[in-house]
Amino acid sequence: MALSSNVKERATELLGALYGCEGAKETLAGLERLLTEVLGSPSMKRPRPALSERDALLITYGNTFSAPGEAPLATLLRFLKQHVGDAISLVHLLPIFPYSSDDGFSVVNYREVNAELGGWQDVEQIAEHYGLALDLVLNHCSRSHLWFQDYIRGETPGRDYFVEADPADPRLALVTRPRNSPLMTPVEVRDQGSRWVWTTFSADQVDLNFANPAVLLEFAAILMDYIRRGARVVRLDAVAYLWKTLGTPCINLPETHAVVKCLRLLVDEAAPGTLLLTETNVPQTENLSYFGDGDEAHLIYQFSLAPLLLYALTLGRTAALQAWAVSLPPPPPGGGYVNFTASHDGVGLRPLEGLVSEADRDALLRRMRERGGYVSMRRLPDGRDAPYELNISYYSALAGDDGEAAQLSRFLLAQTVALSMQGVPALYVQSLIATESDLLGVERSGQTRAINRRRWDYGELSALLAREGSVQMRCLSEIVRRLKLRRAHPAFHPEAAQEILETEDGVFAVLRTPPPSPGSQAVPMLCLFNFTPETREADVTPLCDEDGRQSLVDVIGNRRIACPRGLMRLPAYAALWLKAV
């Protein structure tokens, strides 16, 4: 299929910056051949509606739940049907492919489903009921992948698919590291002896060489296959580290942005409405750069939100959260934020850089260690180690001396902030059921990230969810209820305007105003949160009429509220959605 002239011109420009004139021509021809192959598939023509207030995403491993005689992916779907229903619209399946380490992020085969989870038929069953999100792990692959086996045998195509460097090269000291493990790993290559390959994340995860256009074409084909299989969202894992140029930090390089823009062009041409989500666990300004000029990622994560909420709820101070939220630009047309508090990884600490002082960050980390958490480190260019990630269940992180009820209130407040902010909310499956830190999982695996990756026996979980008053039952039912409430209010549309109101420290206020809609009145929603254990007052005059009068309803509490003098009393750890009636 020939690309449209404007798309072809833009693709030629991007590919030329990556591979030169001749390389661009050959790569473009390969992309056009790929489009010709995939566009004949009926699944590429399925409707992909724009995101709305009715959308929310669930993040989960394929084997979070297990039951005898049933594929874990089938058990997952059973859990969703029984307990979640239409409260969520999208299911993000963390890597479902055969792997050798890192719980799926060291991929051995990008085209097969790990037989221990089920098969493509199980994935397609989920896609029949929910929008599907899949991971494209494109920075690296497993040492066990056939490409790397080609490399060590000196055979095509894999022999040119990986990045080599001399570990003694002083320019490597400039490379930004997400880990404190060695950057370069020695391997024995047939007829060449020992060679050193680039391994950003671990010795088992070997970085791929996108300076070779054949690698880009490989992943373009894999991307199209995932869309053909039903993916509505494709997450680009660890994409910030994609391109390597010695003498630079090798993160967020212009070439990396060019690759993402090429993939965006391809997706928009082949399957309009399919969304690319970049995973860039970096400081705020760097993260925002992946929107490009509205021509790069469709969606980016709000990585700063999770640690800022922990900071605010732990210390009772919202000034940093408010300052960050005020600074957020609206997303570009067709783009959006993904708001989350927890995921399969830990809580990133780099996104706190420039938002809180190191002393305050360290105070937060001390509290988290007291609650059973771990802190993973990264290696700085000067050889020192610095905090990179906090490993703890988000529910356990909000424990205190005031009992389970207060802990659950804090936890639900954090989740409700994520539901309220401009963008699409994403909830980690362990957060739905208030999973505590899995210290036994850490002990068994030797991996601190296992602390928030509990694998549940479905019978055990079902018994807990059926037990009246269990924290799992109360948490799940309340989050599902709030998600369903959210679906009914256009003020939570991803494009609804967001204004962060000035409040006293300890209180956070977000005013959401829906976009104009023919035939209906725009009804704003004032989202109020008390991050402290004391009663606070909040100003509700943004919802008052011209005479200063108001009749308000708390959507979450399903009650009318009187607010004399335009002020409202907020109980400890309250979360309210207010609208005028």
Query: How confident is the model at residue 423, as a pLDDT?
Result: 98
* 258 neighbors 297 (Cβ within 8 angstroms): no
Number of C-beta neighbours around residue 520 at 10 A: 9
Protein fold of 1-274: TIM Barrel (3.20.20)
- Residues at the annotated binding site? 102, 140, 235-237, 344-345, 449
Give the whole-angstrom CA distance, residue 33 versus residue 242. 24
Tokens linked to 469: 């008053």
Task: Specify burial of residue 468 (Cβ count, 10 A radius: 0-12, 13-18, 19+).
Answer: exposed
Give the whole-angstrom CA distance, residue 400 versus residue 122. 41
| Strands of the sheet with 374-379, listed across from one edge | 347-348, 385-391, 374-379
Q: Residue holding tokens 């009749």? A: 551
Give the whole-angstrom CA distance, residue 410 versus residue 304. 18
Write out pLDDT tens, residues 53-103. Answer: 999 999 999 999 999 999 999 999 999 999 999 999 999 999 999 999 999
Number of C-beta neighbours around residue 337 at 10 A: 24
Number of C-beta neighbours around residue 581 at 10 A: 10
Phi, psi (rounded to 5 degrees) for 484: -70, -35
Which amino acid is residue 526, in one-letter code? Answer: L
Write out pLDDT tens, residues 419-474. Answer: 999 999 999 999 999 999 999 999 999 999 999 999 999 999 999 999 999 999 99
Q: What is the mean pLDDT of each run of 10 residues along the chain (581 residues)?
A: 84 97 97 90 80 97 98 98 98 98 97 98 97 98 98 97 98 95 97 96 98 98 96 98 98 98 96 96 95 97 98 96 97 95 96 96 97 95 93 98 97 98 98 98 96 98 97 98 97 96 97 84 93 95 71 94 84 97 84
Can you give the three-state secondary structure of 553-569, one letter per residue? EECCCCEEECCHHHEEE
One fold for both 1-274 and 497-580? Answer: no
Query: How confident is the model at residue 520, as a pLDDT?
Result: 72
- Residues at the annotated binding site for substrate? 102, 140, 235-237, 344-345, 449
Query: How confident is the model at residue 547, as a pLDDT?
Result: 58
Query: How confident is the model at residue 581, as a pLDDT?
Result: 84
Query: How confident is the model at residue 39, as a pLDDT?
Result: 83
Homologous superfamily of the 280-380+398-488 domain (CATH): Glycosidases (3.20.20.80)
Q: Residue holding tokens 């001399």? A: 166
Active-site positions?
237
Give the whole-angstrom CA distance, residue 276 versus residue 237. 11
Query: How confident is the model at residue 126, as a pLDDT?
Result: 98
Domain ranges of the chain: 1-274, 280-380+398-488, 497-580
Work out the percent of the chain whose per-residue pLDDT is above 70.
99
Dihedral of CA atoms 464, 465, 470, 473 in degrees, nearest 10, equals 160
Number of C-beta neighbours around residue 30 at 10 A: 17
Protein fold of 497-580: Immunoglobulin-like (2.60.40)
Give the whole-angstrom CA distance, residue 309 versus residue 376. 19
69-80 burial, b at 16+ Cβ within 10 Å, e below that, comes to ebbbbbbbbebb
